[in-house]
């Protein structure tokens, strides 16, 4: 499982990372956490199972990320329904 934290504030992203780690360590045996705090490029969002997105990211950037995630989620849902 790949968990991604997207926030332009590095300090806050690290706090969230710690909270996610503490919350998930007893639930999942195999997972990793990536913090993305700058250079919000499409390639960073091609893979991931759970995303924590900063609600205060600039509107244009947030819109771009959400569109990418919507496509990814839709593809994953279609895959699940085909099974």
Domain ranges of the chain: 2-82
This prediction's pTM: 0.67
Q: Are 2 and 47 in contact (CB under 8 A)?
A: yes
Q: Quick one: which H or E segment has residue 70?
A: helix 59-82
Q: Which residue has the higher pLDDT, 29 or 42?
A: 29
Q: Which residue has the higher pLDDT, 20 or 47?
A: 20
| Structure confidence by residue, pLDDT tens digits, 20-37 | 999 888 888 888 999 988
Non-local (6+) Cβ contacts of 69 within 8 A are 45, 51, 53
Confidence grade of residue 76 (pLDDT, cut at 50, 70, 90): low
The pLDDT of residue 73 is above 90 = no
């Amino acid at each position: 499982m790949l968990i991604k934290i997207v926030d332009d504030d590095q300090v806050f992203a690290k706090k969230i990372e710690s909270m996610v780690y503490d919350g998930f360590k007893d639930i999942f045996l195999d997972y990793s956490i990536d913090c993305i705090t700058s250079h919000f490029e499409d390639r960073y969002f091609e893979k991931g199972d759970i995303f924590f997105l900063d609600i205060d990211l600039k509107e244009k950037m947030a819109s771009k990320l959400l569109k990418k995630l919507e496509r990814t989620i839709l593809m994953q849902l279609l895959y699940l329904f085909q099974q």
